[in-house]
Amino acid sequence: MANQALANQSSSQVMRQERESLSRAMLAATTRGNAAPAALVLEDGTAFVGTSCGAAGEATGEICFNTSLEGYLEVITDPSYAGQIVTMTYPQIGNYGVNLDDTQSAKPALRGLVVNNMCRTPSNWRSAQSLPDFLVEHNIVAIEGIDTRALVRHIRDHGAQKAIISATGTVDLDDLAAKVAASPSIVGINLAETVSCDAPYAFNELPESHAFAVAAPLKPRHRIVAYDCGVKRSILQGLVRAGCDVQVVPWNTSAEEVLAQNPDGVFLSNGPGDPDAVEETFTQVEKLLGKVPVFGICLGHQMISLACGAQIEKLKFGHRGGNQPVMNLISGRVEITAQNHGFGLVYPSLGELIPEESGGFSEPVDDLRFWVRNGVAPVVRNPRFGRIRLTHVNLNDGTCEGIQLLDVPAFSVQYHPEASPGPTDAHYLFTAFVRLMDGDPDYLDIDVSKDRLAGWVFGAEKEAANA
């Protein structure tokens, strides 16, 4: 009986080995191939094991997630992701490949990429290469084959934290846990200087491959200076299309140098990391406010806030994706917005409420959805720049998404207006900036529903034929 049991066990092992060998052979014959093992380990010890779908190596950074259903290339090349490992919540990434005209910077700034399933054989008439090939070309470590739903739930429950991706061919979870514990945090680090330009340059780049969808730009009629704190190309393109002659300058350019160019306006771009660490920018913004019209987005919004002496907080897991609902307190409309940030303005820290301009309310609130429910755009008195109005509120968590300085020509929003990737609801902000430079006191009073389609040519020929 013992001999028979040993024989059965040996036979079972042989069959298992044959099945594993057959499975490897079948996988090797597909486009996926036999990818090397990879692992993702979080600071709190949570670990996921999958396979490599990018470059070989290891990468540490802050783990975050993006909820966009498309636009993975724009996400991967967004400089605002410097220092971070990005998890895409949509299950399959890479379907339509890579078109370099859609990239947002010369090279990716993120540390690593996490997906559930990576497509290696894209199908799209605009595709020039596969996403895995693009990641390898730019030395970006990536992992697939893990439960991204479980990972995202964990981040939502436990907050942003450090993590490491290893795609070296071997998996030692204890060793990886030690490495992530020893890695630096992005808090207190100036990441904007790592992705900004080295010298000023004029920008007028509009890809011809976008002409099938986007109309020709308006004739330039305003000269602006744009601070590059990690700016996306599509945001600069949005300014050009709105009729701006754009001169881009590095993140630490002095206010005196900017004003010497006699611009019609100053634009403060998006960018990565902790805004408190970008002191050389917001101290210059403090000198610019009141001297020239200013428009800021994302990190630029935080630069204006810090210039006003406000407090910035680190959000539990940030806002990243193309489906963030924001209430516009001026128009009363909800905007679906594209966002990418992990820090936010504490609106009450700007100053005390002015009751007569805030619906009679005098007590500050932490959850700004209070103002949504009451239909009020409150105003505070800032010690540095006078009255500041709350204009936009995130409907998911009640955080500040936009402000308007009422006594100096400046406004800002926490999100991205250019829809790369994401919806076009916030396109009107480019129009508002032009109107601010025109001297229109009601520059934010715009019909968002009409402006959101401005510049797009989809269906234009059909509409003309039916006219």
Report the C-alpha gap between 341 and 160 in whole angstroms.
Answer: 12
Q: Is 356 a catalytic residue?
A: no
Give the rounded distance of the alpha carbon of 397 from its chain centre.
18
Residue type at 405 in one-letter notation: L
Residues 107, 113, 115, CA angle at the centre, nearest 5°?
A: 135
Report the C-alpha gap between 381 and 358 in whole angstroms.
Answer: 11
Summarize the annotated binding site for L-glutamine as residue ranges.
80, 271, 273, 299, 302, 340, 342-343
Closest CA to 259 of 290, 229, 298, 228: 290
Report the C-alpha gap between 49 and 46 in whole angstroms.
Answer: 10
Closest CA to 278 of 260, 295, 263, 298: 298
Sign, CA dihedral 422-425-428-433, equals negative
Question: Catalytic residue among 222, 341, 416, 427, which?
Answer: 416
Structure tokens at 307: 């210039």
Q: Is 298 a catalytic residue?
A: yes
Summarize the annotated binding site as residue ranges.
80, 271, 273, 299, 302, 340, 342-343
Residues 294/304, Cβ–Cβ less than 8 Å = yes
Q: Is 418 a catalytic residue?
A: yes
Question: Catalytic residue among 298, 301, 335, 341, which?
Answer: 298
- Coil, helix or strand at residue 459: coil
Question: Catalytic residue among 74, 286, 335, 418, which?
Answer: 418
Closest CA to 333 of 425, 267, 403: 425
Residues 40/113, Cβ–Cβ less than 8 Å = no
Residues 294/409, Cβ–Cβ less than 8 Å = yes
DSSP labels, 135-192: HHHTT-EEEESS-HHHHHHHHHHH--EEEEEEESS---HHHHHHHHHHSPPSTT---H
DSSP labels, 343-362: EEEEGGGG-EE-GGGTTT--
Residue 22, judged by CB atoms within 10 A of its CB (0-12, 13-18, 19+), counts as: exposed
Residues annotated as catalytic (active site), given as ranges? 298, 416, 418
